[in-house]
Amino acid sequence: MTHDPHGTLSPATLAVTAGRPPRTQGGPVNAPIVLSSTYVNQGVSAPGELLYTRMDTETWHPFEEALAALEGAPHGVVFGSGMAAVIAAIGHVPEQGVVVAPRHAYQVSLGYLDDLAAKRGVEVRRVDIADTDQVVAALDGAHVLLAESPTNPMLEVADLPAILAAARERGVRSVVDNTFATPLGQRPLDLGADVVVHSVTKYLAGHSDVVLGAAVTRDDELAAGLRAYRTLHGAIPGPMEVWLALRGLRTLHLRVERANANAAELARRLADHRAVAQVRHPSLPGDPGHERAAQLMNGYGAVLGLRPHGGAAAADAVVAAVRLWLPATSLGGVESMLERRRRFATESPTVPEDLLRLSVGVEDVEDLWADLARALDSL
Ligand SMILES: *Cc1c(COP(=O)(O)O)cnc(C)c1O
């Protein structure tokens, strides 16, 4: 059942309407949660018939359908976490295979690649994803390109159309982690990606109350492979989590719009604050990613990089001084959060020691600014 067969609805409308049950007199407006580990099923079951919940369950479908509609694809596959989706999408890389990945990216995705290198002899070519020539040169002989744009936590912006076209020409499977931009900010499948993955935990669910992942593709065979991986590895989500994620997705456009506006305003003010050494946000005209993001993205996202004067100790002091912002890892929730990334020994060593990652939420921007400015003034 295609919700938007002619692709005419705007993303905001799809976020609200995709994945609803059929209109029937007395029927529910929202898909129900079905709590059942197995289905009545006898004899040889036909394709598509429900059999056992690790394989498939109707509670996943409305969310899968809605996310696929937003990314402009026929297939959405939900996973138990963003990491499960990332690993399902790149897990086919053979022994001694080659993966091209950003030097700055979600640290656990990079950790998984290190694991592949140690245990399966996979060669991991770490590149500056914003340096198109470097990425293209690294693609020769590769099996997978894993891209993030903007990157976590450095906010580098890739020329996705160029690097995805180069991957396609060389027969390299491209996987884009679209967690930061969301399908409202960019649709990597339109730009040439084979698979899009999400940590649904972040903006899509949006309320910091579920851990969930998803992969989206236009390729029937890749979709079948992702589903088979999920069944074989048991990388499945619970029905409650998927239901909550769909509930969150209904307001994605409103949350993203407000969070992006808040982030751009805070970036502008932070750039003028005397305690601030550097602000990274693609909305700033001087930011290295600005021109590319203006051209390729719809909005600049709601994650900021902030380096105060005074090094890591000053950054830690800001985290300790805020009262409204939450000192916590993660991002993409309605509530604003911040952390110093290098507090984790596993974060890339080229991420500055004093870099704070700010996930800007949907609170009133004046309250967010007052709290942040007070913490910075106290340095
Ligand atoms: C959080 C995150 C992940 C991992 O997702 P989980 O849901 O925590 O497993 C992957 N990629 C990016 C960019 C993330 O921010």
pLDDT of residue 6: 62
Closest atom of ligand 1 relative to the 86 alpha carbon: 10
For 48-139, where are the alpha helices, taking DSSP H only? 61-71, 82-90, 107-120, 132-138
Here the tokens at position 230 are 């999920």
Catalytic residue chosen out of the listed positions 187, 202, 230, 258 = 202
Closest atom of ligand 1 relative to the 148 alpha carbon: 13
The answer to whether residue 54 is catalytic is yes
Q: Is 276:308 a contact under the CB 8 Å cutoff?
A: yes
Domains of the chain plus CATH, in order, are 11-249 (3.40.640.10), 252-377 (3.90.1150.10)
The answer to whether residue 202 is catalytic is yes
Between β-strands 98-102 and 144-148, what pairing exists: parallel, antiparallel or unpaired?
parallel
- Per-residue DSSP letter, 286: T
282 within ligand 1 shell (Cβ under 6 A)? no
Here the tokens at position 277 are 């050494």
CA of 295 to the centre of ligand 1 (A): 25
Q: Which of 79, 83, 90, 339 to mutate to test the pocket of ligand 1 (most atoms within 8 A of CB)?
A: 83
pLDDT of residue 5: 62
Here the tokens at position 342 are 């290098």
In the predicted model, residues of the chain with pLDDT beneath 70 are 1-6
Beta bridge partners of 308: 276
359 within ligand 1 shell (Cβ under 6 A)? no
CA of 270 to the centre of ligand 1 (A): 27
Catalytic residue chosen out of the listed positions 56, 103, 106, 307 = 106
How many helices and strands (H and E) does the chain possess?
Answer: 13, 12
Digit-coded pLDDT (tens) for 342-361: 999 999 999 999 999 999 99
pLDDT of residue 91: 82
How far, in Å, CA of 81 to CA of 67, rounded? 15
How far, in Å, CA of 148 to CA of 303, rounded? 14
Digit-coded pLDDT (tens) for 103-130: 999 999 999 999 999 999 999 999 999 9
Ligand 1, atom 2: nearest CA belongs to which residue?
199
